Amino acid sequence: MNIGGTFSHPETNLKTVGITENMIVADLGSGSGHYAKAAAHMVGTEGRVYAVEVQKELVRRLSEQAQTEHLHNIEVLHGDIEAIGGSKIGNDTADVTLLCNVLFQVENKKDLITEAMRITRANGRVVVIDWSDSHFGLGPDQSLIVSEETVQELFSNRSEFVSSFEAGDHHYGLIFRKQ
């Protein structure tokens, strides 16, 4: 079935949110590493990307890919992003923290957001990119979709809403600034 349109593209979305050389980026729930690898290319050799994933097989695979692709600025961590301190990243470390396609998967959204805010430095940004709809079964079950409004409510007392952006036909993007 051809549903047309543009899917979510990590490179395009990361350019939109202003990832540049020498930044420190944390990708919480990195999965297969599409966003982490794209960020690693953008931050350059002086930047750093922390890719945190709970599934050990994905951690192993992403570590191997980073080595094979000579992306020595990626540190792949096995961690629980739904637990405070579970990412294993220090307080106030990241310039930008990414939550890409994870909110619909996690049960403890409040602790995930607390963890994202903990590791993001003052005036740093937390970027949420997630599914806007199930789109004919292409995405997660409709009951698991987390709306933009719900995300803004979850962040409301923790950060300043900066902007939203088009993250692909099937995704939305939101940017928050840690105060």
Q: Is residue 4 domain-resident?
A: no
Domain with 114 in it: what CATH number? Answer: 3.40.50.150
Number of domains in the chain: 1
Q: Looking at residues 88-110, what average pLDDT do you find?
A: 95
To the nearest 10 degrees (0 to 180), the angle between helices 109-119 and 148-155 is 60
Of residues 60 and 168, which shows the higher confidence score? 60
Task: Tell me the residue range of the domain where 110 lies.
Answer: 10-178
> What is the tens place of the pLDDT at every residue in 129-178?
998 876 655 666 666 778 999 999 999 988 989 999 989 888 999 999 99
pLDDT band at 179 (very low <50, low <70, confident <90, very high): confident
Q: Is the pLDDT of residue 3 over 50?
A: no
pLDDT of residue 134: 60
Q: Is residue 1 domain-resident?
A: no
Angle at the Cα of 113 from the Cα atoms of 112 and 115, rounded to 5 degrees: 65
**H or E element at residue 24:** strand 24-28
- For 20, 23, 37, 50, the CA distances from 43, given in Å and listed in that order, are 5, 6, 10, 12
Residues 6+ apart with CB under 8 A from 154: 109, 110, 113
